[in-house]
Structure 1
C-alpha cells in the first residue's frame, strides 16, 4: 500500500449522528496516529442565501470547535473544509484531493442513508475510491481497541479479493480476528468456485499471521444470517463490497450490502468499491 497522508475524513452536518461518526473517527485516529479532517458540504442555493449571516469562516470555526471537543486532551491534528457543492460528488472528491485513508460517515439508524440524504443516498458511497466506514447513531460497538473482530462475507466474485485485502490490512493494524462467512452451494460448478475463493482467503490470512474462523450457512437470507452471526460474535466491523455495472461504468450497492449498511444491530460497516489500480498479493493490498 502506498504511503498516504493518514487522514480520516468525516462529513459533518451538525446532527448527533455525525458527532457519533466523529467519535468513531477519534477512536481510530488515536490508535492509528492519524489526522482528522471535518468536511461540511453546502448546496449552491443554500450557500447564496446564507452568505450574509454565516460565512465559511464561521462554519469552519464551528467544525474545529466540534473536533476539539471530540478529541479532548489527545494530540490528534484536526482540520476543517467547507465546500460548496453536493454530497454525492464532493465527499468522494474531497477524499481524493486530500488523499484520505478512510471516510467515516454516520447514518440515522435502521431507516438508513435514505433518511439522511434522500433517494440517491447510496451514490455518496459509490462515488468514492476511498473506503467508507458507515456508523449509526449509537456507539454501541466500542472500537477503542480498533476493529478486533471483522466479519467478512465471501462470495463468488473476483472483487471479493479486494474486500479480503482490506480485511487483511485492517487485521494487521489492529491484531484482529477475521470471521469468514459464506453460503453452502449445491451446484457443483459454483461449489468449486467458492471453494477456490475460500482456499485463497484462508491462505492469505494464514500467511499474514491472522486468526480466522469460518461459518458456512444454509438458507435464503444470507444478509440476515450475516447480521445475526456478527452480533453473536460481538463483531465491531462488517465488510461490504459494491458491484460494478460494466454497461454504465459505475458501481452500485445491492440488496445485501444495503441491508448490511442499515443493520439493526448498528454494527459499523466498511464499504469498498472495486478499483483497477489495486492488486492483491498474498492478501496484501497494493496500489
Structure 2
C-alpha cells in the first residue's frame, strides 16, 4: 500500500510502491485517510486516486491496482490496513515524519520510507541489514531474505560489536539465525563486523551504505521510548532524515509482524 497525502513527494512514494509491487508480484493499493465527517474530501480523494490509477495502468497494464479511503488519520487506520485489507507494507515519503512515526508504533506491517524516484533509487539490488542483540532481528532478516529471493538483491549484514557477554551472545545467536535463513534460500550474503555496538550500529551502517551504494536499509523501530526520545526525537527519525536516497524500511518490534505469503 502507498500512503497518498497529495503532497509534492507523493509521486516518489507511488513510484516506489509500484516497484515493490512488481518485485513481490502483489497488488498496488493507493491509500488515503480522510478527516472524520468530511464526505466531500472522501469523494475528491476517490476521484483523484481513480485518475492516478487509470494513468498508471496505461504504462503498467499488468500490475493489479486499487484505491482505499478510510475515515480518520494514518494512526487510526494502520491496524485496519493490515487486518481488514491484507496490506503487507506501507510505502511513505520521508518528509513530515512525526505523524508517520507515531503510526509506525501501532503498525503490524513494515513502513518503507522513500526519497527520490530515479532508477538508482528504485533498484533495491543492494540491501543493508544491521544486526544487534534484539529479538526483532529475526523479523528484519526475513524481509532481507524476501528482497533476496524475489529481487535477487545482495544482502550486506553488519553485526554489532558488543562488550557485554550477554549482548555478545545475542548478536551471535541472531547472526547464526540469519546465516541459516539465507543459506536455506540459497542467498549469498556479505557479513561484516561493525566497529560500534548496538546503539551506534545504525549510524555506522548508514555510512557504509552510502560508501558502498546500498539502496535499502532494514531496521527495527524503537521498542522503549523514554523522555529523551520525546524531546530530541527517535533514532529511526534521525536515520531516515540522514539517509538521503537510501530507502529505509522500519519494522515495529512491539507488534507481531504480518508475514509475506509467496
Name 1:164's counterpart in structure 2. Answer: 141
Flag structure 2 segments of 5+ consecutive residues without an equivalent. 226-232
**RMSD over aligned Cα atoms:** 2.8
5 Å matches for 1:20-99?
20-44=12-36, 47=38, 51=39, 54=40, 56-75=42-61, 76-99=63-86
Instruction: Provide closer, same or farther for how the CA distance between residues 188 and 179 of structure 1 changes in structure 2, counting only shifts above 3 A.
Output: same
Q: Does residue 174 in structure 1 map to residue 156 in structure 2? A: no
- 1:241 to partner: Cα distance: 1.1
Q: Does residue 113 in structure 1 map to residue 97 in structure 2? A: yes
Name 1:251's counterpart in structure 2. Answer: none
What is the CA deviation profile of residues 57-107 of structure 1, one whole-angstrom value per residue up to 9, with x for unaligned ones?
Answer: 332111121233345421222222222211211134234311012211112
SS at match of 1:262: helix
Name 2:169's counterpart in structure 1. Answer: 192
- 1:259 to partner: Cα distance: 2.8
Q: Does residue 130 in structure 1 map to residue 129 in structure 2? A: no
SS at match of 2:11: helix
Distance in 2 separating the partners of 1:211 and 1:259: 30
5 Å matches for 1:172-251?
172-219=149-196, 221-245=200-224
Instruction: Provide closer, same or farther for how the CA distance between residues 223 and 96 of structure 1 changes in structure 2, counting only shifts above 3 A.
Output: same
Output the TM-score relative to the length of structure 2. 0.83
Instruction: Provide closer, same or farther for how the CA distance between residues 186 and 32 of structure 1 changes in structure 2, counting only shifts above 3 A.
Output: closer
Name 1:249's counterpart in structure 2. Answer: none
Flag structure 1 segments of 5+ consecutive residues without an equivalent. 1-8, 247-253
Instruction: Provide closer, same or farther for how the CA distance between residues 14 and 240 of structure 1 changes in structure 2, counting only shifts above 3 A.
Output: same
Among candidates 81, 87, 91, match of residue 100 of structure 1: 87
From the two aligned structures, give the one with the greater strand fraction.
1
Distance in 2 separating the partners of 1:94 and 1:285: 14
What is the CA deviation profile of residues 21-45 of structure 1, one whole-angstrom value per residue up to 9, with x for unaligned ones?
Answer: 0011112223333221111111226
Instruction: Provide closer, same or farther for how the CA distance between residues 267 and 68 of structure 1 changes in structure 2, counting only shifts above 3 A.
Output: farther
SS at match of 1:181: strand
SS at match of 2:9: helix
Name 1:139's counterpart in structure 2. Answer: 117
Output the TM-score relative to the length of structure 1. 0.77
Aligned residues: 251
Instruction: Provide closer, same or farther for how the CA distance between residues 232 and 92 of structure 1 changes in structure 2, counting only shifts above 3 A.
Output: farther
